[in-house]
Amino acid sequence: MLLLFLFSLTPLIVMGTISYSLSKSTINEKVTEYSEQLLKQTADNIDTRLGIYKDLMMQVVNNGEIIRMLRDLDKTSAVKPYDIDSLSLTTKLSTIIAINQDIQSISFISKDHYIKGIYRWKNRTPEEVSGFLTTLEDGSNFRWFPTRLNTYVDSLNTQNVHVFSLSKQIYKTSDDSPVGIIAVLDIRGEVLKELGSSSTNNNRDIQSFVIDGHGQIVSYGENDMIGKNVKEVLGEQGYNQIVHSGLEEYRFPIKEQGKKLIVNYRKLHTNDWIVVNVISESILYQDSDRLLRTIWIIALLCIVFSIITAIFLANSISNPILKMIRLMRQVMSGDLTVRFRVKKHSDEFDILGNNFNYMVARIDELLKTVYEEQNQKRTAELKALQAQINPHFLYNTLDIIKWTALIQKANNAAEMVSLLSRLLRISLDKGKETVTVEEEIEHVQCYLGIQKFRFNYKIKTEVYVEDGVRQLKTPKLILQPIVENAILHAFSDSEQEGQIDISCTRSPDGGIRFQIADNGKGMDPAYARSLLRNQNQEQGGKTGGIGLANVDERIKLISGKTYGIDIASEPEAGTTVTIKLPYLE
């Protein structure tokens, strides 16, 4: 099933990933290019329209008749009110701007008067219009004011309109001296919104709006955002990127309110206003995401198809195998009568079944043969056991010999028999591998007792066992071969009395330690070390190294490679054999 998944899903996933990546990259490039083109087109359209408004303003401020009317109306007089209008001026202006429906109104403001051109501002007190008088500081330059909600009144009705304004100071046509009056052209705010939507072809994926050089929104799709700072749309990061970057045109990604956005902006040539286009990545990649969902659906269908196919194929293969496994388990439980049923037209499983049947039949034959051989062997072993000497019979016999020797006053022979009996009892000990330290010391003492009779008490021994180690376990029969080597080799050809010291203590680094020291003739250190490496080393025609090597090997087998025998010896200086053992259970 895993293989089918791999073969079916791997190409699909690879192709889907490549397709998704390519489509995402292509969409990103195309939309970015498209957005930049729309942004340029929108900025050019707005620049062109603003240029038209500037031309229209120039027609007004360069009209000699209008200038004369304004100068007459603005002449200071104590009887004149602040708010002035003139029917002839209104008529003249209506003729000029009638061809442009974008113009909402035109007004004239001086330090002393508000002069109505077309429509009258509702709020026209000196304090409310003083902001427009800053145009007097710009000389002959134009000044643009961002969009605001303004109220206009006439004799018939009142209307509230979002407008942005263009202002310019008026000069005399004769000597180009300032008149002290500024003209304010109010333009409907819908103009900028229409220009933006017409450039983007009403594409809802792209949001287009205009801000001034300070980040204040001049035009936006929703009127309630007009006049607010662009931070409320793009956050602090977007505000800094646009207002403080100093670039004429730039594109950057941001994340605002959990949404990933791509922002393009372009500054206008007419003023310091900026056209901004915003694209949401979720909308930008919705086609790619739809492709990815389609790929996942296809992958899911492939998985279902793979599962169905895998089940069919697995059953066709696994059912014969499972059947054979059941037969094998019956064979393991001891039933050798089972057989695999072979079909008429043989396949690989039938060949395997035939071999299985042959194997089971052959095993059945061999088991019967082994069973018969084992019966014969058990019969022979029983006869051999019946012929063996019973250890209890041996101990009892030795005991009878001891008492017979005592009756006949052969005390030494009685003691030797007693020592031999104790030695055999410890040696046999029901076949155990380990004994207590106390039993091992007793065993070697029995052996030394017998050897003293042999050497006529020429060998002295001292045994020291540390408190607390007597009941610890040790491999049995490890001291006797070492003591035997000392007796046979250390004191051979020596007329002096021999001394053998045996001690058993706790080792400082853990475990227990036996030491067997003699005052014999000693040996070469290199030869002493070779006794543990060569089991066939001979000394004086006697196999002195066999016992030591065997003991060392047996200790390592029971306790581990880090334990065993160490020999320290010098010629004519005696020999010390150290046995290192762990704590045994």
pLDDT band at 182 (very low <50, low <70, confident <90, very high): very high
Alpha helices in 62-85 (DSSP H): 64-74
- Residues of the chain above pLDDT 70, percent: 83
Mean pLDDT value across residues 238-252: 87
> What average pLDDT does the segment 119-131 reach?
88
The amino acid at residue 121 is: W
Do residues 196 and 207 touch, judged by C-beta distance below 8 A? Answer: no
Average pLDDT value for residue range 309-320? 79
What values do phi and psi take at 252, rounded to 5? Answer: -155, 150
pLDDT classification of 144: cutoffs 50, 70, 90: very high
Return the SS3 of 505: strand
Q: Would you state the pLDDT for residue 287?
A: 66
Can you give the pTM of this predicted structure? 0.50
Residue 52: per-residue pLDDT:
93
Q: Which DSSP helix (H) or strand (E) runs through 17?
A: helix 2-61
Distance CA 521, CA 514 (A): 21
Say yes or no to pLDDT of 351 above 60. yes
Place of tokens 């699909």: 12
Question: Does residue 304 register a pLDDT over 60?
Answer: yes
What dihedral do alpha carbons 199, 201, 207, 210 form, nearest 10°? 20
Q: Quickly state the pLDDT bin for 495 (edges 50, 70, 90).
A: low
pLDDT value for 396: 55
CA–CA dist 175, 111 (Å, integer): 22
Contact call for residues 234 and 257 (beta carbons, < 8 A) = no
Residues 159-181 have a mean pLDDT of 90
Question: Long-range contacts made by residues 136-140, C-beta under 8 angstroms, separation at least 24?
Answer: 136/169, 136/178, 136/180, 136/182, 138/169, 139/169, 140/168, 140/169, 140/171
Query: Tokens representing 95?
Result: 């003729």
What pLDDT band is residue 389 in, cutting at 50, 70 and 90? very low
Lowest mean pLDDT among 414-428, 484-498, 553-567: 414-428
Q: 380 near 388, Cβ under 8 Å? A: no
The highest-confidence range among 178-192, 317-331, 523-537, by mean pLDDT, is 178-192
Which one of 57-66, 343-352, 363-372, 483-492 scores highest in mean pLDDT?
A: 57-66
**Beta-carbon contacts of residue 408 (< 8 Å; ≥ 6 apart):** none
Q: Are 572 and 522 in contact (CB under 8 A)?
A: yes
- Three-state secondary structure along 162-219? EEEEEEEEEECCCCCCEEEEEEEEEEECHHHHHHHHHHCCCCCCEEEEEECCCCEEEE
**What would the pLDDT profile of 76-85 be if each residue is shown by its tens digit?**
654 578 888 8
Q: What is the pLDDT of residues 512-554, one digit of tens each?
A: 999 999 988 888 888 888 888 754 444 443 444 457 888 888 8
Which candidate, 564, 563, 447, 433, places its Cα nearest to that of 500?
447
List C-alpha distances in Å: 554 to 188, 410, 575. 111, 39, 22
37 against 229, higher pLDDT:
229
Confidence band of 169 (pLDDT split at 50, 70, 90): very high
Separation of alpha carbons 106 and 121, rounded Å: 10
pLDDT of residue 561: 86
Residues of the chain with pLDDT > 90: what percent? Answer: 21
Instruction: Kindly tell me if the per-residue pLDDT of 292 is higher than 80.
Output: no
Asked if 397 and 405 count as a contact pair (C-beta separation under 8 A), the reply is no
Which bin fits 257, alpha (ψ -120 to 50), beta or left (φ > 0)? left
The residue that leads in pLDDT, 273 or 80, is: 273
Residues 400-413: pLDDT tens digits? 676 667 776 666 77
- In the predicted model, is pLDDT for residue 457 greater than 70? no
As a whole number, mean pLDDT of residues 67-80 equals: 77
Q: What is the mean pLDDT of the chain?
A: 81
Q: How confident is the model at residue 379 (pLDDT cuts 50, 70, 90)?
A: low
Q: What is the distance between the alpha carbons of residues 447 and 461, in angstroms, rounded to a whole number?
A: 12
pLDDT of residue 280: 79
